[in-house]
Amino acid sequence: MSDILTVSGLEKTFGSVVAARDINVAVPVGQTIGIIGANGAGKTTFVNMITGHLTPSKGKIKFEGQDITGRTSRDITRLGIARSFQVAQVFPSLTVFENMCAAAAIARDGGGLIRAAAASLRSARTLEETEAALTQFGIARFRDMRASTLPQGVRKLLDIAMATAGGPRVLLLDEPTSGISLEEKFGIMDVIMGALKGRGTTVLFVEHDMDVVQRFADRVLAFYDGTVIADGPPAEALADERVREFITGAVLHRTKPTANGGTGHAQG
Amino acid sequence: MGAALSLAAVALAAIAAPFLPLWIVSLVTISIATGLVVVGLIILWRAGLVPFGQALFFATGAYAVALSSRYLGLKDAFLLVIIAAIAAGFVAWVVGFLLARYREIFFAMLSLALSMILYGVLVKSETLGSTDGINVSSATFLGFAPRGQAYTLAVFWLALGLAVAAAVFVSRYLSSVAGSLAIPIRDNEIRVEYLGISVTRLVHLKLVIAGTLAGVGGAVAALTIAHVDPAMAYWTTSGGFVFVTILAGAASVPAAFVGALVFEIIRTASVAILPGGWQLILGSVLLLTILFVPEGLGSLVVRKRGADKAKGETA
């Protein structure tokens, strides 16, 4: 089977608020998918359900044929689905090197508690992987800086680099370029996609910038009001009438804050 | 270098013990008992967890020794220490299911509450000796039954051996994947979970290790004092452990034992100098520690070593 991830009839309600409804998506191995939609359209809820942060109210999520609906985020990570966060989730008191080392060590030896207590944090393999990841993501020169002192872009790259520890087959990136200046967005995405190239990782990224989506996505999922209103190659999906009406139009005005904060928060 | 220095100090203590006044040997043995508890507290402390009720496990270990000796007729010191370790580790494992879900002040106070429940049980139960406690008859050491001065020395050497074993074990644990995740747990639990390891289970493991070590400390205390009583579970005992942890700091493992020794010396000296007012002196020492050495005595050594290395690579 070539679909690595399939989502069927997915729904999430918070009381009377419907955050996601009737989402059906099949993701082939190796595809890069851009997820677009206005604030509150259900993008993050979708990501949170796949990664186990939220339990769907209805529907099924299958990863490599296995039903993962409602599993814990930890289990799902172990199975091979990793994520980054809208607000970078790193360890602020540790240096970049120590952050990456912790991530690599958990991926390598964190499967069982006994093993985690017996294995050295700085095993040769872990150190090797740490160095490689820092180089691939272009953050090696920040290695001795504490994560709390990093510029936003570097912190985001560190967050994503940490998520890729252990070689996940599916990677979900929640707004990888948010909070980053327009000029830097492409650069950051180039680094991320460059680092993932050759790994065959299937990538789903939430993005507000349509130029970024057009350049990096093979396929676009457009969310509106909790469901997918367009699904196809970027040129096609972005040309969709409803997408233009509800999303790209909305994106142009995204500086205006929207009242709806009802989608789940990654930083929980 | 730290390890070599510590081993030299241990060897010196072991050799010098027979030539020292007995009260000093006893004082050092008691310090080691406290140090064993504190070395476990370091593990929790690094993850930002401060239990105000670690005496729960200390008392469990001590009572395991007293009860095994009294009711089961077990006399071998090694066996009694193992029983104490298992008993305290088991209690830590059971209460860990609850404690591991809490953080900060809730963790601290819940741990305190559990220790006070044990205190209440010990005080109320005749079988467990009630307020008088239980006398612990002299233990044997693999068939040897030393008496008098030789017994004090035997317990001291046993304690010293346990201290070395605990220090080596804790040092290894702290450099392991699970052990080194203390700061990540304190910093960002979500990230830890999303890297694929359970924070709750990691904290639970830390509780079991710290509880087991506290039980061993309790066993040493029971053997050297030859008596156990409910005060061992009282919150002031837990407070003493936290005091020593602040004094020693979490930076260095051997510092736990040095800190415990300093604590016992201060306490003994205070009682002699200012009977009835020793809390005044102890309180002042704590105040000065927090003001001038907030990261504890161990940080002085670690800081120096860090400066020597010139490169600030801390683990």
Q: Which CATH class is domain B2-309?
A: mainly alpha
Kindly state whether B309 is in contact with chain A, defined as any CB-CB distance less than 8 angstroms: no
User: For B221-280, how does the pLDDT look when each residue is reduced to its tens digit (9 = 90+)?
Assistant: 999 999 999 999 999 999 999 999 999 988 889 999 999 999 999 988 888 888 888 888
Cβ–Cβ of A118/B176 closer than 8 Å?
Answer: yes
Contacts of B193 in chain A (CB under 8 A): 72-74, 77
Q: What is the CA radius of gyration of chain A?
A: 18
Q: Is B184 close to A268, i.e. CB distance below 8 A?
A: no
Report the phi/psi class of residue B2: left, alpha or beta, with left for phi > 0 and alpha for psi in -120 to 50: alpha
Nearest CA in chain B to A112: B197
Instruction: Out of A85, A121, A165, name the one closest to residue B180 (CB).
Output: A121
Q: Is B190 near chain A, with CB under 8 Å?
A: yes
Residue with tokens 């020793």: B278
pLDDT tens over chain A, length 268 residues: 488 989 988 888 888 888 888 989 999 998 999 998 888 888 889 999 999 898 889 889 999 989 999 898 889 999 999 999 888 899 999 999 999 999 998 888 877 888 888 888 888 888 888 988 999 998 989 989 899 998 888 899 999 999 999 889 999 999 988 888 888 888 889 899 888 888 889 999 998 888 888 889 899 988 888 888 888 898 888 888 777 877 777 554 444 444 444 443 433 3
pLDDT at A42: 87
Nearest to A26 by CA among A12, A7, A2, A9: A7
Q: What are phi and psi of B181, to 5 degrees?
A: -85, 15
Residue B208's pLDDT band (boundaries 50, 70, 90)? very high
Query: Looking at residue A267, what is its pLDDT?
Result: 37
pLDDT of residue B156: 95
Q: Which of A94, A117, A267 lies nearest to residue B183, judging by beta carbons?
A: A94
In 3-state terms, what secondary structure has residue B13? helix
Using CA atoms, how far residue A72 sits from A56, B163, B188, in Å, is: 12, 40, 17
Contacts of A41 (CB under 8 A, 6+ apart): A223, A224, A225, A226, A247, A263
pLDDT at A159: 93
Q: Are B298 and B248 in contact, with CB atoms under 8 Å apart? A: yes
What percent of chain B lies above the pLDDT cut of 90? 57
Q: How far is CA A165 from CA A121, A247, B129, B148, B198, in A?
A: 14, 33, 55, 60, 17
Question: pLDDT at position B305, please?
Answer: 63
User: Which residue does chain B place closest to A83, by CA atoms?
Assistant: B194
Query: Is residue B136 a contact partner of residue B227, using CB atoms and an 8 Å limit?
Result: yes
User: Residue B258 and residue A16: Cα distance in Å, rounded?
Assistant: 61
B8-23 pLDDT, tens digit per residue, is 898 899 888 889 999 9
Closest Cβ–Cβ partner in B183, B186, B197 for A106: B197
Q: Is A93–B181 a contact, with Cβ atoms under 8 angstroms apart? A: no
Q: How confident is the model at residue B2 (pLDDT cuts 50, 70, 90)?
A: confident
Tokens of residue B312, six digits: 């600030």
Q: In the A/B pair of chains, how many CB contacts fall below 8 A?
A: 98
Closest residue in B to A126 (Cα) is: B177
B198: contact with A, CB 8 A cutoff: yes
A26, β-bridge pairs: A6
3-state DSSP: chain B helix, strand, coil percent, rounded to 5? 75, 5, 20
Task: Please tell me whether the interface predicted TM-score (ipTM) of this complex is above 0.90.
Answer: no
Q: What are phi and psi of B227, to 5 degrees?
A: -160, 140
3-class SS of residue A63: strand
State how far the alpha carbon of B311 is from the alpha carbons of A123, A256, B234, in Å.
20, 48, 44
Name the band, by pLDDT with cuts 50, 70 and 90, for residue B313: very low
B194 and A94 within 8 Å at the Cβ level: the answer is no
Segment among A2-11, A248-257, B66-75, B293-302 with least mean pLDDT: A248-257
Domain boundaries, chain B: 2-309
Phi–psi pair at A95, nearest 5 degrees: -75, 170
* CA distance, residue B42 to nearest chain A CA (Å): 16
Q: What is the pLDDT of residues B176-190, one digit of tens each?
A: 888 888 889 988 888
CA A236 to chain centre: 23
Q: Which candidate from A90, A110, A113 shows the least CB-CB separation from B188?
A: A90
Contact at CB, A78 and B190, closer than 8 angstroms: no
> Which of A75, A86, A120, A170 to mutate: most B Cβ within 10 Å?
A120
User: Quick one: closest CA in B to A97, which residue?
Assistant: B313
Residues of A within 8 A of B183 (CB-CB) are: 91, 93-94
User: What per-residue confidence (pLDDT) applies to A209?
Assistant: 86
CB distance A267–B198 less than 8 Å?
no
Residue A261, SS3? coil
**Number of other CB atoms surrounding residue B149 within 10 Å:** 11
Contact at CB, A93 and B183, closer than 8 angstroms: yes
Asked if the C-beta of B183 comes within 8 angstroms of chain A's C-beta atoms, the answer is yes
Beta bridge partners of B227: B135
Q: What is the pLDDT of residue A115?
A: 82
**Binary contact (B193, A120; C-beta < 8 A):** no
SS3 A20: strand
Q: Which residues of chain A make contact with B198, given a CB cutoff of 8 A?
A: 74
Give the whole-number percent of chain B exceeding pLDDT 70: 95
Q: Does B48 touch chain A (CB under 8 A)?
A: no
Inter-chain residue contact B173 with A51, CB threshold 8 Å: no
pLDDT digits (tens, 9 = 90+) for B150-172: 999 999 999 999 999 999 999 99
Cβ B177–A121 below 8 Å, yes or no? yes
Interface test with B, best of A85, A89, A146 (most B CBs within 10 A): A89
